[in-house]
Amino acid sequence: MGANILVVDDEKEIADLIELYLQNDGYNVYKCYNGTDALECIRTTELDLAVLDVMLPDTDGLSICRKIRESFYYPVIMLTAKVEDSDKIMGLTIGADDYITKPFNPLEVVARVKTQLRRYMRYNVPVSGSEKEDSEYDIRGLCINRESHKCQLFGKELQLTPIEFSILWYLCEHQGQVVPSEELFEAVWKEKYFNSNNTVMAHIGRLREKMNEPSKNPRFIKTVWGIGYTIDK
């Protein structure tokens, strides 16, 4: 049975095109042309991923993304006609997992959906065998478990999206090492990194916010300026 995908775009032609391509790949598509219907679908339907247009007639995709993140942690992909880095960072900061700029090839949307779903579904698969030995890290009160896909800080559970979990897990795996931004991006997103890419920075900021970490003197995720990030041993 295919995953349930919400597609929200007030441009009917675009929504219909994305729906067609996703259905051809076996996904169940719930299509909405406005925010009101989208919020009702989110409330009543068990979804696995959402594709949200930023500009809608009655609200905006960023507000819908915020609403999703109040209760759900499935991937969110934003669609926008804007290309400014500030808009992209805003979307990623409030909890979006990916960002696609219009105009786009619908095959790209399908590919991004597959990538996000693979990451999301992977955390629901039990870890077995020798992998269990490295399925959990406990670093000075930060406990992260790959098998249960849960993370606790000083006993309080952190509600992380799949992307945020992947970033934190990778840094814990490489505890004591400086992980370059390029390496972190390519390990988590499985895409080529470009120098102007602020995606990693936006997600690190979101992680620190959830961990109540001060940006200037964080206890866990530390910035090594000009290189990347590290979690000290």
What pLDDT is attached to residue 85? Answer: 59
Give the three-state DSSP class for 145.
strand
Q: How far is CA 45 from the centre of its chain?
A: 20
Contact 193, 147 (CB under 8 A): no
Q: What is the DSSP letter of 5?
A: E
Q: What is the pLDDT of residues 102-125, one digit of tens each?
A: 888 999 899 889 888 887 776 554
CA-CA distance, 54 to 104, in Å (whole number)?
15
Per-residue confidence at 184, pLDDT binned at 50, 70, 90?
very high
Residue-level pLDDT at 132 = 42
What is the spatial distance between Cα 95 and Cα 202, in angstroms, rounded to a whole number?
10
pLDDT value of residue 140: 85
Distances (CA, A) of 170 to 70, 132, 146: 25, 16, 11
Question: Binning pLDDT at 50, 70 and 90, where does residue 130 land?
Answer: very low
Higher pLDDT among residues 215 and 187, named by residue: 187
Could you report the per-residue pLDDT of 25-74, keeping only the tens digit for each?
999 999 999 999 999 999 999 999 999 999 899 998 999 999 998 888 89
Q: Where residue 126 falls among pLDDT bands split at 50, 70, 90?
A: very low
